[in-house]
Amino acid sequence: MEASLPISATTNLTPTRPATGTSPLGLNAPAIKLPLAFMLTGLAALSVGASWIVIQPSILASYHYNQNVVALTHLFVLGWICSIVMGAMYQLVPVALETKLYSERLARWQFAFHLVGFIGMVWMFRAWNMKQVGHFGTLLTIGVGLFVFNIARTLWRVPKWNVTATAVTAALFWISLTVIAGLSIATGKCVYESTEGLATKGGVSMLITGLRLLAGFVSRFDAISAMHAHAHLGGVGFFTMLIVGISYKLIPMFTLSEVQSQRRAGLSVGLLNLGLAGSFIAILLRSPWKLAFALVTITALAIYGWELRAILRARKRGPLDWGIHYFLTAVALFGPLSLLAVVLSWPGLPLNTFTGQLENLYGFLGLLGVVSFAIVGMLYKIIPFLIWFGVYSKHIGRARVPALADMYSPRLQMIGYWSFLAGLVGISVGVLCGNERVIRFGSLLFTTSVVALLINGFKILSHAACPQIMPLGTSRSAKPITK
């Protein structure tokens, strides 16, 4: 205890923005309901998607340019991954970048557009009704526009710009381009005969003319190449960019370490952007430069892996928990994914059944391997904290509250990890061989992992319904106070 020490007498203080009185930084992230709504939507979409593969394993055993694969991919990408990522960003960006979310109201509107948009899109992709895909896609795009605006305005307030803020900004740019490319592709597949004679004047006429021009422009490109270019914008530009950028904040936070080289971190994000920009054009134009830009992206990921290793080696925390294990396994999967990228971008590669299966494996490993594994790992950090903070923050210091790790079962978390990994291996082998039975077996293991995640999610959420609050000084075995 240090008696009568005035603030002015303290040393090593650097001048910063003062936060005197009732702090203006009091409420940074939105209320837990909003990110939680996104996350529960994501978990529901993951459950439906995993069950879909079990029921219809042929989806992954055949070439991916068909209505079921496109519908399933959008269910995973929009329903599962985007829901989780967007919900998490509303929570994490203000906290990680030490600022305040611009508008929670806009975020609530985005949730409504997102939910209706992605459900309608998946439904209409399955029916292969591209006009309705375009309509629901427009709703989703309005939602993405609100999301981009909201996060961009939030970034505007960031007091100290850093590599994470740069990566988030880049991700906003790429997600915007992804939805524009997606809508353009949908427009290109639509025939506007039904509008003949309906729109003869005003804005509607201009819109129809514009859509016809856009459809004509998109039809100049090979359909599959356009789809692959669109997929890379989202997969690399939005998901991978955020995995890399956000982890430069979260991994040091959870392992008690620091970024070891800002230069290395900045280089990884810069090269990732360069590689993607080049890959997008090269894939779209079927250019032999695909390989060169794939190598730029792989170099970016290698530098990222190098920096991540340095961060982990400098950590003050000893053993890593399962959440971090999930995340690091996802990062390790960038290895086989990069190898596949090199093979698939090799100039003159013939398109046959086997290379088609390799493309399936590439997409599967990218979305359900790297991105989903990383997301599940981060969910084990985010959801417990959201509920814990929402339920118990007012009681800290006034009563005994559970620790984060007490809110779920580490055993289920471990079962989830191994069944996820085994499921990925099983499905990958099945996809390579085009064998539906093996894919079904792998997807059952994958579903086991999803069930483990859902049970743990339920355990965590049960704290919201029945808080475990005990008087100070009681042991952990004591009976909680009934709220």
**Residue ranges that bind other proteins, judged by CB under 8 A:** 1-8, 10, 12-14, 16, 18-23, 25-29, 94-95, 98, 253-254, 256, 258, 316-317, 385, 388-389, 393-394, 396-398, 401, 404
Q: How many Å apart are CA 168 and CA 250, to the nearest integer?
A: 14
Least distance to other proteins from the beta carbon of 149, Å? 23
Q: Is residue 296 a contact partner of residue 350, using CB atoms and an 8 Å limit?
A: no
Relative orientation angle of helices 322-332 and 334-344, to the nearest 10 degrees: 20
Q: Cβ of residue 447: shortest distance to other proteins, in angstroms?
A: 32
Instruction: Pick between residue 20 and residue 352 the one whose CB is nearest to other proteins.
Output: 20
End-to-end CA distance of the chain: 37
User: Strand pairing partners for 470?
Assistant: 400
Q: Which helix (H) or strand (E) holds 231?
A: helix 223-232
Least gap, CB of 32 to other proteins (angstroms): 12
DSSP state of 235: I
Which C-beta is closer to other proteins: that of 127 or that of 396? 396
Least Å from the CB of residue 259 to other proteins? 10
Choice between 221 and 389, CB closer to other proteins: 389
String of DSSP letters for 172-195:
HHHHHHHHHHHHHHHHHH---GGG
Residue (203 or 318) nearer to other proteins, CB:
318
Helix axes 290-313, 241-255, angle to 10 degrees: 10
Contact between 54 and 444 (Cβ < 8 Å): yes
**CA–CA distance, 255 with 319 (Å, rounded to integer):** 9
Supply the minimum distance, in Å, between the C-beta of residue 93 and other proteins: 11
Query: Which is closer to other proteins, CB of 348 or CB of 397?
Result: 397
Least distance in Å: CB of 98 to other proteins? 5
Give 7 or 465: the residue with its C-beta nearer to other proteins.
7
Q: Which is nearer to other proteins, 226 or 382 (CB)?
A: 382
Residue 232 amino acid letter: H
Within 10 angstroms of residue 127's Cβ, the number of other Cβ atoms is: 12
Q: Are 201 and 155 in contact (CB under 8 A)?
A: no
In the complex, what is the shortest distance from the CB of residue 467 to other proteins, in angstroms, rounded to a whole number? 16
Q: How far is the CB of 301 from other proteins (least distance, A)?
A: 27
Residue 291 has which token pair? Answer: 């390989």
Nearer to other proteins, 278 or 384 (CB): 384
Give whichever of 122 and 382 is closer to other proteins, judged by the CB atom.
382
CA 337 to CA 360: how far, in whole Å? Answer: 12
CA separation, residue 462 to residues 43, 243, 388, 395, 470 (Å): 16, 29, 11, 17, 16
8 A C-beta contact, residue 294 and residue 342: yes
| Closer Cβ to other proteins, 178 or 413, answer by number | 413
Rounded to a whole number of angstroms, the minimum distance from the CB of residue 2 to other proteins is: 5
| Least gap, CB of 455 to other proteins (angstroms) | 23
DSSP letters, 406-472, are GGS-HHHHHHHHHHHHHHHHHHHHHHHHT-HHHHHHHHHHHHHHHHHHHHHHHHHHHHHHS--BB-T
Residues 6+ apart with CB under 8 A from 270: 300
